[in-house]
Structure 1
Amino acid sequence: MKKLVFVGLIMIFGLSTGLAQEVQFGAKAGINFATLSGDQTSDFETVTSFNVGVVSEISISEKFSFQPELMYSRQGYSFGDNVIALNYLNLPLMGKYYLTEGLSIEAGPQIGYLLSADNEGDDVEDSFNSFDFGVNFGVGYKLDNGLNFGVRYNLGISDVNELKEVKNTYKNDVFQVSVGYFF
């Protein structure tokens, strides 16, 4: 999996930089408000956690950019007194369109790899699929000095439930607020 992500990033950066006018690298961190949606999830509650990672913005034209990211994202949900923590390595591939200078809308697919899952210290990784696919939608604002802010919604499209005896479908549902800096 690590080799696949690395090769994918090399290909993305290599192909995109040939078209690019400018490439910037940076880092970002933020807050996640996560839960699961799907069958019989009305008792599931949102958990608040975090995300952190590295980003690159590849300018294709004055108005359009491509922004691949590699993010650690702590997600999950709670029900009653139980908190299920799902730790992902996510690869969002965002297309950004600048409405005005600094203000952009963004959308793109995301693949996630489940690093671990626990329920109050007990390993429950076998209850969840190793891979997660989703689609992101968001808004961002970038200052001239490199400081940037973003709000994003990740709509899970794949079932993360791995338990065969549980016929319910569960999908990640994550709202994110982040701050970052391009070097």
Structure 2
Amino acid sequence: MKKLFLFAAIAAFGITNLQAQDGVSFGAKGGVNFSTLTGDDVDDLDEDNARTSFHVGAIVEIPISDRFSVQPEILYSGQGIKFEDEDFLGQGTEAKIKLDYINVPVLAKFYLVEGFSIEAGPQFGFLVNDEFEIEDSNGDTIESEDLDAASFDLGAAVGLGYKFTNGLFLQGRYVFGLSNIDDSDEEGAFEDDLTNSTLQFSVGLQF
């Protein structure tokens, strides 16, 4: 099923490419993620618990009018959370929950003035890696195991962007999860509902 979803997302981009018309632009982007999880299981953790990772992928901007566009994207995105607990992990150790997705946001994009836009829309995420790791003070992995995370993640994105006349663009975006990252009926690593929460900063080029 996961492969089917991925194929459908890639095919959608291919169809858009074949049906491209005047004004449609394509591009590539990448940037940094600051991600965490929200829910009762993590509310008592230190505030500095964001996992720093990256995202990279492709975009298509389809103009509907002078000020309004639809922008689907396909991104590889590293998400999750990190935390330290000396009582549980030992001094100098750090734990990470790594949740990596192929994300497909489909955004409505409104230009307030030339170049400057606001954007919002749903995001569909397909899990490609889930892992719990414990690292020592040197950054070496001392324990690693797979998690029973949900294969599909539904979220919503809101953000701002600025596109220069040469096609270079900058984006800042917040993506909040709408579905539980654990949909298993069996008892796993997650006792309560947990959702993704990701702050993204991107740079890209449209052509």
Q: If the length of structure 2 is used for normalisation, what is the TM-score? A: 0.80
Unpaired runs of 5+ residues, structure 2, are 85-93, 134-140
Check if 1:31 corresponds to 2:24: no
CA shift digits 1:98-124 (9 cap, x unpaired): 000000000000010110112226232
Compute the displacement of 1:3 (Å): 3.8
The structure with the largest alpha-carbon Rg is: 2
Matched residue, 2:87: none
> What RMSD in Å do the two structures reach over aligned CA positions?
2.2
Which residue identity does 2:199 align to in structure 1?
A: F
Rounded Cα–Cα distance in structure 2 between residues aligned with 1:29 and 1:116: 19
Q: Is the 8 A contact 1:34 1:47 kept in 2?
A: yes
Rounded Cα–Cα distance in structure 2 between residues aligned with 1:10 and 1:96: 22
SS in 2 for 1:7: helix
Q: Higher strand proportion, which one?
A: 1
Rounded Cα–Cα distance in structure 2 between residues aligned with 1:95 and 1:87: 24
Q: Cα 1:114–1:8, aligned 2, differ >3 Å: closer, same or farther?
A: closer
Identity level (%) = 41
Matched residue, 1:61: 65
- Between 1:79-88 and 1:67-76, the stretch displaced more is 79-88
State which of 123, 128, 138 in structure 1 corresponds to 2:145.
123
Q: Is the 8 A contact 2:41 2:191 kept in 1?
A: no
Q: If the length of structure 1 is used for normalisation, what is the TM-score? A: 0.90
Unpaired runs of 5+ residues, structure 1, are none
Compute the displacement of 1:22 (Å): 1.2
CA shift digits 1:118-170 (9 cap, x unpaired): 22262324x21011000000000000100000000001000002453243000
Q: Is the 8 A contact 1:134 1:155 kept in 2?
A: yes
Matched residue, 1:104: 117
Q: Is the 8 A contact 2:9 2:104 kept in 1?
A: no
